Amino acid sequence: MSKVRVLVGTRKGAFILTSDGKREKWDVGGPHFAGWEMYHLKGSPADPNRLYASQTSGWFGQVIQRSDDGGKTWTQPGTPPGERTTPEGMPKGESNKFVYDTSTETGKPLTTHQWYDGTQHPWEFKRVWHLEPSLTDPDTVYAGVEDAALFRSKDGGKSWQELSGLRGHGSGPGWQPGAGGMCLHTIVLDPGNPQRMFIAISAAGAFRTDDAGKTWRPINRGLKSQYIPNPEAEVGHCVHRIAIHRSRPGVLFMQKHWDVMRSDNAGDSWQEVSGNLPTDFGFVIDVHAHEPETIYVVPIKSDGEHFPPDGKLRVYRSRSGGNEWEALTKGLPQSDCYVNVLRDAMAVDSLDKCGVYFGTTGGQVYASADAGDNWAPIVRDLPAVLSVEVQTLP
Amino acid sequence: MIRVILPPHLRGLARVSGEVKLDIEGQATQRSVIDALEASYPMLRGTIRDHVTQQRRPFLRFFACEEDLSHEPPDAPLPDAVASGAEPLLILGAIAGG
């Protein structure tokens, strides 16, 4: 029987939740890295036992962790305890090193972006928000970081190199941080085209590469954001999350700061599909594993009030790719609920029926084993959940 | 032999409990002690000093002999009591938050 492994990053450690394919009884493992902010954990599609984790701290900086046994044990890549150098003599500890590319040979090295007060400010690495393993190579993994840039490791996380063509895009000096910092938080790899990937930055917008990361174009046409001077500007939009179905990578769904959007041409243009949602502010969006037109969001009241409208935690599902939405409430609190669901905190499994999972800032991780019709908490009292990823295992 | 007390988060990262003991060649300074610490525990590289600037991370402090040494030059000699191992060098995280 299949198994499910749910990887949960929280403000104070990581947790690994496991169940068989029925998804009724769960084992809760952890905390791993207790006391550290675990922004994101994700497994390699090419080797499910290979996991990557972003461990970070305002005090101690960034640490990358890797597991090769499905989360039982972890090491910093290239740095086993007690060893000082690699056989090649390479210093250990390089896996935590994210250095912006300032060479003249590779792209257009930038030194500044727009700061809150309108002045130019140096790019400063703060943390890794999102880790996206390659679809085909367990040793290749991408990292989206704050201040916004994209890094890649081709050696299992031992060392990282910036794909500087993104930060070197001509619009870079106009990017500016949102309230949560200027972070690259979404990386979507096209399963049908290894040259293509999509990323999103708060608050710059969405970008696409068609040459494996060398060059990038903004893909924000059709987005309208009333909180920027030109609501239809090429960049400056606060995109919260992008999701695709792997069978149809040219169709993108987006939860923007406000507005749920859809593109049928790989981001060349977008249409709003918020439809009858009670509010179209939110962070997460995801797609059913087997139904490319079935999508999920969790509406949040507003950018000033980060909790569900009316104190009711409701997932909304559209079976028509947007515009027509139904509230999913069975098993979710329908009164006095004032948690948030952050952008990386929803995922789906690929079992039949499709499982849907999300975590809250109140520390609950909810699961539905029937595509959202019924929900139950796997755990109720974790630290605030930052990210949820799911692995479907044989 | 130099004694170093790490904050709990970094003890966990380095997989040590209690004090760390280091042998330093030459003069004991903040720089030479952190260099030796990172050589023995490379997983700590970048967590005490920034990977690029090599500056002390802003929310960390170096204390010894009831003195805050954080703003001393990195190559200034540490107190004799630290150099002799009589007193530890404390690396601690600032209390921040509420």
The Cα–Cα gap between A44 and B2 comes to 42
Neighbours of A350 (CB within 10 A): 15
Q: What are phi and psi of B13, to 5 degrees?
A: -65, -40
CB-CB under 8 Å, A91 with B46? no
Question: A60 vs B50: CB contact, 8 Å cut-off?
Answer: no
* pLDDT at residue A83 tops 80: no
Report yes or no: B44 at the A interface, CB cutoff 8 Å. yes
Cβ distance of B46 and A93 shorter than 8 Å:
yes
Q: Which of A59, A83, A96 sits opposite B93 (nearest CB)?
A: A59
A94/B89: higher pLDDT: B89
Return phi, psi of residue A354, to 5°. Answer: -65, 130
Interface pTM, i.e. ipTM:
0.87
**Given a cut of 60, is residue B98 above it in pLDDT?**
no
Between chains, do A33 and B40 touch, taking CB under 8 Å as contact?
no
Inter-chain touch B42–A61, beta carbons under 8 Å: no
Per-domain residue ranges of chain B: 2-93
Which residues in chain B are closer than 8 Å to A94, comparing Cβ atoms?
45
Give the number of A-B residue pairs with CB atoms closer than 8 Å: 71
pLDDT at A107: 53
CB-nearest partner of B60 from A34, A59, A96? A59
- Whether B47 sits inside 8 A of A63 (CB atoms) is yes
pLDDT in tens, B23-71: 998 999 999 999 999 988 888 999 999 988 889 998 999 999 999 999 9
User: How is residue A110 written in tokens?
Assistant: 């930038």
Is domain B2-93 in CATH 3.30.390.50, yes or no?
no
Phi, psi at A100, each rounded to 5°: -65, 140
Average pLDDT of chain A is 93
B60: closest chain A residue by CA: A59
Long-range residue pairs from A373-382, CB within 8 A, at least 24 positions apart, any chain: A373/A328, A373/A330, A374/A330, A374/A331, A375/A315, A375/A328, A375/A330, A375/A331, A375/A332, A376/A331, A377/A331, A378/A6, A378/A17, A378/A19, A378/A26, A378/A28, A379/A15, A379/A17, A379/A26, A379/A28, A382/A8, A382/A10, A382/A15
Residue of A54, A56, A57, A59 to mutate, testing the B interface (most B Cβ within 10 Å of its Cβ)? A59
**Closest CA–CA distance from residue B52 to any residue of chain A (Å):** 7
- CA B94 to chain CA mean position, Å: 14
pLDDT digits 0-9 by tens, A113-164: 888 788 888 889 999 999 999 999 999 999 999 999 999 999 999 999 999 9
Q: Determine how many CB atoms are found less than 10 A away from the CB of residue A142.
A: 22
- Rounded to an integer, the average pLDDT of A338-343 is 98
Cross-chain residue pair B9–A36, CB shorter than 8 Å: yes
B8 interfaces chain A, CB cutoff of 8 Å: yes
The answer to whether A60 contacts B12, with C-beta atoms less than 8 Å apart, is no
Token pair 């000699």 is found at B77
Q: Which residues of chain A are at the B interface, by a Cβ-Cβ cutoff of 8 Å? A: 33-36, 57-63, 76, 79, 81, 83-85, 91-94, 96-99, 125
8 Å CB contact of B47 and A36: no
Angle, alpha carbons A338-A340-A344 (nearest 5°):
165
Closest residue of B to A77, CA-based?
A: B43
In this prediction, what percent of chain B has a pLDDT beyond 90?
78
B76 to A23, A269, B67: CA distances (angstroms): 60, 60, 14
Sign of CA dihedral A101, A104, A108, A112: positive
CA distance B60 to chain A (A): 7
Phi, psi dihedral angles at A52 (to 5 degrees): -120, 145
